[in-house]
Amino acid sequence: MQKPIHVLSEIGKLHTVILKRPGTELENLIPQMMKFLLFDDIPYLKIAQQEHDYFSETLNRLGTEVLNLDDLIAESLTQQNVKKDFIEQVIDESGFLHGPVHDALEQYLLSLETQKMVAKVMSGVRRNEVELKEVGLKELTEDTRFPFYMNPMTNLYFTRDPAAAIGEGISINNMTFAARKRESLFMEYIIAHHPRFANQGIRVWHNRAQATSIEGGDELVLSAQVLAIGVSQRTDASAIEKIAQNLFENSNFKSVLAIRIPHNHAMMHLDTVFTMINRDQFTVHPAILNKKGQIDSWVLHPKKGGGTSIEHHTNLKATLKKVLGLSEIDLIPTGGGDEIAAAREQWNDGTNTLAVAPGEVVTYDRNYISNKLLREHGILVHEIHSSELSRGRGGPRCMSMPIIREDL
C-alpha cells in the first residue's frame, strides 16, 4: 500500500505535492512590514494567483496530484476540540497567551466556519477587526507600529520550508524568523489529524518544539541514503547534527552532506543556490564557490558503536561523486557563468528548479539564460510565469512540498 509520505530522492517522478495558492495574506503586505515579513516588494495578487494556478495546472498536466494546504488544514480541524486547540495555539504563538486580546481573537475565530477561520488565520487579523472587552496596561502600552494583532503569513506559498518529507517521515520545522514561525503549526495538525496522514506511524525527524532551527529549503534528499542540508541563514549546524543522528538511528539514511552557504536574504536556503535535476546533474550558483572553485562541506556518517563521524571537504563535485557513488557530475552554472546574468537570475530563483522526473524540471520563464543552458545540457524544461511570484524570493522548488515521489 502507498505510504502517505514517500520521498527517497529529489528527482523521482513527482506523484503528490502540497501547494498553497497565494491569498489575501499578500494584500496585507505593507511597506513598513516588508522586511519583517521577508519580502522585497508587494506582489500584485491577481497576477500572482494566475501565475500560481498555471504552476499548479502544469504539475497536474505532468501527472502530479496537487493537494492544497488550505484544504488539508480545514479537513484536519473537523473535530470541535481540535479546532479549538488549533485556534488557542495560533493565538498564543501570535503573542497573546492570555488577556483581553487573546479572548477577543478567540471569540472571533471560533465564530467563523472552519474554512473561513483558516483563511483569516493565514491572511492576518487587524487590530480594528476585534473589539476588546477591557483594556489593561499591556494593551495601552503595546507597540502599535504594525496594524495587526495577528500578522499575515505572507510566505505560506513557499510550502517547501515549514516541513520537509524525508524518506517516509517528515521534519516539522522550527522556523528561524518570527514572520514564519507559525507556519509549521499547520503541518503539525495535518500529520496528527488529517485522515490521510493521522495514525499511520509517520516518523517525525525534527519537530517544531526543538530549539534549533531548520527549514525545508535547506533539506535536499539526494538519494535514498544521502541527505544534503544547507548550513545557512535559516538552518543551524546543531539542528543538522540532531536530525542526522535521528535519521542514522531510525532510517536507511547513511550520510548527511552539510554545505555551508552565504548567510544573506538572496541565498537564504541551499535550494536557492543548488538543486538536483537528474541522477548526476545539478544547478549551482557560481557565486557560492570561492576563487578556487571551492566550498566548505562536511559529510556526517554514523560511527560504529554510536555517534557521528564528520569529514571536511571543499570540492563540491568530488564530494558529490563520493557520497552518491558516481563517476561524473554535471554542475550547471546559473546564468551560464556570466557574473551579471548569474547574479540577476539567481536573485529571481534561476537556480531553484523543481524536478518532476529525472532530467525534467519546472523553472521560472524569466531566467532565460539559465533555462537555455539547462536545455543544452539535455534537460526537459517546463517554464512557468514568474513576474509576481518571484517577488517573494522563491522559485518552483520553494513553492512546492513533495510528499510522494516514485522510486528511481
Ligand X SMILES: NC(=[NH2+])NCCC[C@H](N)C(=O)O
Q: Where are the beta strands (DSSP E) in 192-338?
A: 203-206, 219-221, 226-231, 255-260, 274-278, 281-284, 297-302, 308-313, 330-333
Give the one residue of 94, 151, 155, 400 binding ligand X; rule: CB under 6 A: 155
Residue 361 · residue 383 · CB < 8 Å: no
Quote the least distance from Cβ 275 to ligand X, whole Å: 10
- Asked if residue 221 binds ligand X (CB under 6 A), the reply is no
Among 272, 319, 370, 386, binds ligand X (CB under 6 A): 272
DSSP state of 6: B
Q: Which of 233, 319 has the CB closer to ligand X?
A: 233
- Locate the DSSP E strands across 253-400: 255-260, 274-278, 281-284, 297-302, 308-313, 330-333, 354-357, 360-364, 380-384
Cell representation of residue 226: 544521502
Here the cell at position 41 is 516588494
Q: Does 267 interact with ligand X (rule: CB under 6 A)?
A: no
Q: Residue 135, Cβ neighbours under 10 Å: how many?
A: 11
Please choose, out of 190-198, 250-258, 368-376, 386-394, the segment that lies near ligand X by the rule CB under 6 A: 386-394
d(CA 94, CA 97): 8
Q: Please select the residue that binds ligand X; options are 394, 401, 402, 405, rule is CB under 6 A.
A: 394
Q: How far is the CB of 301 from ligand X (least distance, A)?
A: 26
> For residues 162 and 302, which CB has a smaller minimum distance to ligand X in the complex?
162
Question: Do the Cβ atoms of 255 and 225 come closer than 8 Å?
Answer: yes
CB of 276 to ligand X, least distance (A): 14
User: Which of 194, 269, 366, 385 is in the footprint of ligand X by CB under 6 A?
Assistant: 269
Nearer Cβ to ligand X, position 217 or 286? 217
Q: Give backbone dihedrals phi and psi of 115, rounded to 5 degrees, phi first.
A: -60, -40
Residue ranges in 47-86 that form contacts with ligand X under rule CB under 6 A:
none
Closest residue to ligand X: CB criterion: 217
Q: Which residue in the set 86, 108, 158, 274 belongs to the binding site for ligand X (CB under 6 A)? A: 158
Chosen residue from 167, 217, 359, 402 binding ligand X by CB under 6 A: 217
To ligand X, the closest distance from the beta carbon of 272 in angstroms equals 5
Please provide residue 299's backbone torsions phi and psi, each rounded to the nearest 5 degrees: -105, 125
Q: Binding to ligand X (CB under 6 A): which residues in 160-189?
A: 160-161, 180
Q: Which of 392, 400, 401, 403 binds ligand X (CB under 6 A)?
A: 392
Q: Which stretch binds ligand X (CB under 6 A): 6-14, 221-229, 287-295, 392-400?
A: 392-400
Q: Quick check: is 398 catalytic?
A: yes
Nearer residue to ligand X within complex by CB, 219 or 360? 219
By beta-carbon proximity to ligand X, the closer residue of 69 and 74 is 69
Interface with ligand X, residue 268, by CB under 6 A: yes
Sheet of strand 65-68, all strands in order from the earlier edge strand to the far edge: 65-68, 14-19, 401-405
Side-chain half-sphere of 128: how many Cα atoms within 13 Å? 2
219 makes contact with ligand X (CB under 6 A) = no
- Under DSSP, the state recorded for 331 is E
Give the end-to-end CA distance of the chain in Å, rounded to a whole number: 18
Could you tell me which stretch among 136-144, 247-255, 266-274, 363-371 binds ligand X (CB under 6 A)? 266-274
Q: How far is the CB of 69 from ligand X (least distance, A)?
A: 15
CA dist., res. 356 & res. 12, Å (int): 7
Given 398, 399, 403, 404, the catalytic residue: 398
Per residue in 78-98, is it b (16+ CB within 10 Å) or e — as a string? eeeeebeebbbebbeebebee
Nearest Cα neighbor of 373 from 344, 333, 400 is 333
Q: How many residues bind ligand X (CB under 6 A)?
A: 15
Residue 38 within binding range of ligand X, rule CB under 6 A: yes
- By CB under 6 A, is residue 220 in contact with ligand X? no
Give the C-alpha separation, 190 to 74, whole Å: 9
The CB-of-395 to ligand X minimum distance in angstroms stands at 7
Q: Which residues are catalytic?
A: 398
> Footprint of ligand X on this chain (CB under 6 A)?
38, 155, 158, 160-161, 180, 217, 268-269, 271-272, 392-394, 398
